Structure 1
Amino acid sequence: MKRGKRYKEAAKLVDRSIQYDAAEAISLVKKTASAKFDETVELHIRTGCDSRHADQQVRGAVVLPHGTGKSVRILVFAKGPQADEAQAAGADYVGAEELIPRIQNEGWLDFDVVVATPNMMGVVGRLGRILGPKGLMPNPKAGTVTMDVAKAIKDIKAGKVEYRLDKSNIIHVPVGKASFTEEQLADNFQALMNAVLRAKPSSLKGAYIKSATLTTTMGPGVKLAVAKIAG
């Protein structure tokens, strides 16, 4: 892959042979953020799990202390009092069956998170082929299938992020923005790592976290000292 001049300059700041502790890595990724927009700081964790086994799934959610720095558009599938609660709590879109053709036929996807009450999951399930691959399917483990839609919306707006294994058994999750202070990023990073470590499958044999990397949207990866963060 051909890299631009900015990336090459930023890459010179990172020693690929070193595994950095979290504070050093956070300081470095802030220095490597050189794009004209406020880059997202991302954490990528390679695990020893095998997501093909149901008992080795890792999935959950955590509210980052300082939020994600991104405004999130929330779609809520609900009826009756829950629909009213969702509107009052600041959901961007609220609806039920009438939204299905809009998403299926018109390709409408102007939302970042989908919340649904349990009684609406039969309806939402019809959108599985569209929402599933995009990571938008509501899930009880992530707190997005709930009768308490107001709390779900409040948490998401406050900076709740979902973490889950991809097909390569890697977790990709935002930690904040490059404009955040090192202290804010460190707090978010720690909250996230604590949640992921607590989610370790009890059936897993061998290493849970094999490697971890911090990076910005356009910057080079900074390897983390796994023994320190997982110890």
Structure 2
Amino acid sequence: MRKYSRRFQQIVQKISKNKLYSPLEAIELLQVLSNVKFIETMEAHIVLGLDPKYADQQLRSTVILPKGTGKIVKVAVVTKGEKVSEAISAKADIVGSEDLIDQIFQGRLDFDKLIATPDVMPLIARLGRVLGPRGLMPSPKAGTVTNDLKRSVAEFKAGKLEYRVDRSGVLHVALGKLNFLSNDLYLNLISLQESVDKNRPSGSKGKYWKSVYLSSTMGPSIPIDINLLKNNGINY
């Protein structure tokens, strides 16, 4: 049986059992309950009615959080030719061609996002075993395979996130720091909700949204009333 610290147990007691909180109420409660020595991140954990083992029930997309993530994102770009100078002018943190591919193959992973132009993807294929398990492999679906380097680098640095369901059909997404204004965190949550609805897989049948929980890095999870999320016409 898992053991929790006294601090954690005291926090849990302040959360009402068998209650579904409104999104904003849950956010504000997480902010009040946070009592660690660093600024925690707020996370959303969304259980969806998907079985990712089927190709038409996989969910992988991106969302631009309007208030950012509060995290400094280090972006690497693999490209060649004239696109190298474009990537540098776009303020990518790391830029290279075959040399950078070799460095990554040898273990260099000091970046949060890897963007590549289509012409170098055949060269990057050999990095699958290195990048794949870390979720860093460039993909057109994720917006990380593109010729528009200026836009892509700017978006990821501003708060664009890639998300995907895990093997059990659950999304885990960091939505910002707890020292954000509560309304700003709420706006980020709504943007995620709208994106998840917009990108509903074609094979999804029945109830799409099953449950939503908000939590902080070191805190407990708080159940959310799905119907109180912004209603955009989707029947939950």
| Common fold by TM > 0.5 | yes
Is 1:38 matched up with 2:33? no
Cα distance in 2 for residues equivalent to 1:143 and 1:175:
19
1:140 deviates by: 1.0
Q: What residue number does 1:189 align with?
A: 189
Q: What residue number does 1:150 align with?
A: 150
Gaps of at least 5 residues in structure 1 are none
Is 1:69 matched up with 2:84? no
1:41-95 per-residue CA deviation (whole Å, 9 max, x = no partner) reads 0101111111111111111111111100000011111112221111111111011
Cα distance in 1 for residues equivalent to 2:78 and 2:113:
11
Deviating 4+ runs (over 6 angstroms): none
Question: Match of 1:58, as an amino acid?
Answer: L
SS at match of 2:43: strand
SS at match of 1:212: strand
2:78/2:101 contact within 8 Å kept: no
1:198-225 per-residue CA deviation (whole Å, 9 max, x = no partner) reads 1112321111111111001110000111
1:93-116 per-residue CA deviation (whole Å, 9 max, x = no partner) reads 0112212332222x2211101111
TM-score, normalised relative to structure 2: 0.93
Question: Match of 1:32, as an amino acid?
Answer: L
1:32/1:220 contact within 8 Å kept: no
Is 1:8 matched up with 2:9? yes
SS at match of 1:162: strand
SS at match of 1:38: coil
Q: What residue number does 1:114 align with?
A: 114
**Cα RMSD over matched residues?**
1.3
SS at match of 1:42: strand
TM-score, normalised relative to structure 1: 0.95
Q: Give aligned-pair identity as a percent.
A: 44
